[in-house]
Amino acid sequence: MMSISWRRIQVIIRKELKDALRNYQVLMMVVVPIGMALLYQNMQSLEGNQLILIFPILMSFGMTGTIVQSMIIAEEKEKHTLRALMLSPATAIEVMIGKSFLSFFLTLLTIFLTMLVTGLSMGISLLFWCITLLCILFFITVGTIVGLMSKSLTETAYLGMPIMFLMGLSPIFAPLINKAWLTKIVSFLPTAHYLQATELLMKGKTFIVGSHWLNITIWLILAVIICLFVFKRNRIED
């Protein structure tokens, strides 16, 4: 049975924290969703404002989760230190946990701050935070895949931004375009189910979010499988 060394994970985490303090781009990815939350707090008089205020949270998934994570991985590749990490005694799971801790913490912190700014009343809902954590893990896993597939730090923007807009923001904008085929495609995405589950939780309907929970879980499992495959391929080829 595979065991996990928390000591090796802690070493990786400490290195990530030191690198993050010197990377202003990472801090920018945290500031933007919070800035959007400050903008939207003045829109509380609009009808359906609660769902509008979820927009900064979706941005946090994409920007702080996916983009920051992809930058962390791609930067290691540029420095040629990721290869050494892959060939070290640390397992793929240990590397993924260690390299994802900072992105996970920053995404969770950003979401908490956006909710604090906008005054969303979902903080007391355990189900809300459980489904939010699933989404965070999914977007960080996607960010890891993007980082592993990118040949440079710059390339993460070309690969990560379209994914961020498609996976993170399309549930907000698809209804505005009003195309049946687009709405159908978007309805399968985890963020669409996150949005629907959040709406149900806002209405107090806590017992019918199971299908949305299942959708996000399936997406997460698929993302982890793909991430492990890409990780192992990079270990062999790089």
Cα gap 55→125, rounded to integer Å: 18
Q: How does pLDDT run across 99-116, given as a tens digit for each residue?
A: 888 889 889 999 988 888
Is residue 216 a contact partner of residue 188, using CB atoms and an 8 Å limit?
A: no
Is residue 138 a contact partner of residue 44, using CB atoms and an 8 Å limit?
A: no
SS (H, E, C) 154-200: CHHHHHHHHHHHHHHHHHHHHHHHCCHHHHHHHCCCHHHHHHHHHHH
Q: Provide the pLDDT for residue 31.
A: 84
Indicate left, alpha or beta for 91 from its phi (over 0: left) and psi (-120 to 50: alpha): beta
Q: Provide the pLDDT for residue 47.
A: 46
Q: Which of 101-115, 139-153, 176-190 has the lowest mean pLDDT?
A: 176-190
Between 86 and 142, the higher pLDDT residue: 142
pLDDT band, very low/low/confident/very high, at 124 (cuts 50, 70, 90): low
Between 49 and 164, the higher pLDDT residue: 164
Is residue 96 a contact partner of residue 227, using CB atoms and an 8 Å limit?
A: yes
Cα gap 63→143, rounded to integer Å: 10
pLDDT at 235 over 70: no
Q: Which of 16-20, 58-62, 125-129 has the lowest mean pLDDT?
A: 16-20
- Phi–psi pair at 122, nearest 5 degrees: -90, -5
Cα gap 201→7, rounded to integer Å: 39
Cα gap 238→236, rounded to integer Å: 6
Q: How does pLDDT run across 195-222, given as a tens digit for each residue?
A: 888 888 877 776 667 788 899 999 999 9
Between 52 and 144, the higher pLDDT residue: 144
Please report, as a single letter, which amino acid is at residue 137: L
Percent of the chain with pLDDT over 90: 12
Cα gap 57→213, rounded to integer Å: 17
Residues 6 or more apart whose CB falls under 8 angstroms from that of 194 comprise: 58, 131, 132, 135, 171, 212, 216
- Phi–psi pair at 20, nearest 5 degrees: -65, -35
Q: How does pLDDT run across 40-58, given as a tens digit for each residue?
A: 776 655 445 566 778 888 8
